Amino acid sequence: MLAILLRHPRCSALLAGFLSAAGFAPLSLWPVTLACFFALLLLIEAAPDRRTVFTRGWLFGLGHFTLGLNWIAHAFTFQDAMPHWFGYGAVILLSLYLAVYPGLAALTAWWANQRMRSGGPLPLILLFAAFWIATEYLRAVAFTGFAWNPLGAVLLPTGVAIASTLIGTYGLGALVVLASGALMLASRRHFASAPAILLPLCVIALWGQIAAAPQAPAGAPRIRVVQPNIGQGEKYSPTLEAEHFRAYAALTGAPRPAPRLIFWPEAAVPAYLDMEPEWRTRLAGLLGPGDLLMTGGDKVYYKEIDKGLYVDRVLSGANNSLWVVTPDARIAARYDKAHLVPYGEYLPMRSILQPLGLSRLVPGDADFWPGPGARSLDLPAALGRPAMKMGVQICYEIIFSGHVVDRANRPAFLFNPSNDAWFGSWGPVQHLAQARLRAIEEGLPIIRSTPTGVSAVIDARGHVRHALSLGRAGFLDTSLPPARPPTLFSRTGNLAPMAFLILLIAVAIATRESRR
């Protein structure tokens, strides 16, 4: 196999990277991902120098992200300020940057292996797994971070993803590398080392397949998740506002004797709820005596400009917010999105880029402002429903492992209102996969409500209990799944994968074989 790869090593790296993304949803071909990383390990091991090994890792990353992030091109079809074809260029440009991180992982692993003067592939495999953790974490935090499609997401169908309760999502990425490395060891007839890696992974997979989440007890709060199937092209149309509200009202249903928690998607309400009491009254009319409505909507800020004869009020900024509305038309709580999407919700270097004709993807002239970060909102008790705490992560925020929960004020569940209507067919299912990883890591159920899908109720083990598929209007009416006791990861955050990183390096040093 190595001889075939080395005939055209750059093309081999690019193709292997491209095919490796088939392990992500919607394809979920995780064995293909393992085979592709096996090929990458062979290319790294055979690299003669630092420049070559970085180039191979970078080309692998270029292919990997180009396929995995193809849905981004679809977002540009809803943006008239920029040409639609630019979306394909945006995918390539972003992939050119993101590919640096696999390149760095390959380079640092190869360099450390050379410095240790080790013989045999095992230390290189362990080092590459360790540095994959480091570079994937770096990708999630550098330049505001872009943590989409962490490698560990390919393990969701296998049951191995349950290990994220211990080592987090970044640690799962290392397990993918180790599994691929086991294939490499087996191909070299290292019949002691390969089982030493595969056996623990099989045990973890079995654990993941048989471990069940706790069942909702009798009297658990009732929830209703609404998905109206309103497309991005019509979402902000003023002429359709009344029709959209009727759709939301119909799917919310008539009030019942038992209190409900009702969940609407991100930006569901085209009103400023703190400034428009008539809209709050309108929403309250849909609620029973003990109901609460969680809905997305903007919070706006104005600045006053003295024009001499009069004072003009100009929109200066906004928050992408989640509002909790009560049956008596009060606002019980509000959460402001903290991790905003660059070029989506705000335009970096606006003074330079706007004159060039570039704009952000979300409609409007003013940028969104970030909120204070993860926190738990208090939901009041009502008609036998106990008071509880709800964590909120709006849309994109849910992808950031270790940053979704206020650890000092742990909630009973997380709500992830989202707008995936412009994510094509690949983006929404990838988004769902990442929400499932957060549920496993934190031991918390997650509720997702989106305009066009995938809306879902996810239990604390990451199982999708109920879902509404893409392009379907409907609602989910069920009981709120219970939380699990805090996991190791929920207590330590990303210190856990970093400890795993150190362990992998230590084992690599301990198992190196001196070159003769």
* Active site positions, annotated: 266, 337, 395
Candidates 114, 20, 28; CA nearest to 67 is: 20
Write the DSSP symbol of residue 342: B
What backbone phi and psi angles, to 5 degrees, belong to 456? -160, 160
Is residue 482 within 8 A of residue 445, CB to CB? The reply is: yes
Distance CA 124, CA 499 (A): 19
CB-neighbour burial class of residue 366 (10 A; exposed 0-12, middle 13-18, buried 19+) = middle
Beta-carbon contacts of residue 184 (< 8 Å; ≥ 6 apart)? 38, 41, 42, 121, 125
Tell me how far apart the alpha carbons of residues 452 and 455 are, in angstroms, rounded to a whole number. Answer: 8
Closest Cα partner for 459 from 441, 439, 429, 432?
439
Strands 455-458 and 446-449: antiparallel
Tokens of 280: 């709050």
Closest CA to 107 of 128, 93, 87, 121: 128
- From the list 105, 121, 19, the residue with the least C-alpha distance to 56 is 105
CB 396 within 8 A of CB 242: no
